[in-house]
Amino acid sequence: MKQNKTQYTIRGIPSDVDQALRHVAEARRVSLNAYLVQELSNIAEQAKESGLHHDLDFAIGTMTDGQLVDEALKMFNRVDSELWQ
């Protein structure tokens, strides 16, 4: 199965970070690109395994008492007349 691949251009890498990355890639006997792709893939896999959410779907149905929430949020609906003169 063919995967779609994206190309990144990353600017502003500090020289000490560049040197460290190149050193690790060289020690592993892989190109800098191959090393970085592997590391980014590892990070993406860890995020997927940790259940990282990109939305709030996980919270749907978790509010058990809307009345308490409404009471707690009432203070945010007040206008401080001294600040709005």
Render pLDDT for 22-63 as a digit per residue (tens, 0 to 9): 999 999 999 999 999 999 999 888 877 777 666 777 677 776
DSSP 8-state code for residue 54: S
Which single residue is written with the structure tokens 């401080």?
Answer: 80
CA distance 40 to 42: 5
Q: Whole-structure pTM over 0.75, yes or no?
A: no
Per-residue model confidence as pLDDT tens digits over 72-82:
888 788 887 78
Structural tokens at position 84: 């709005």
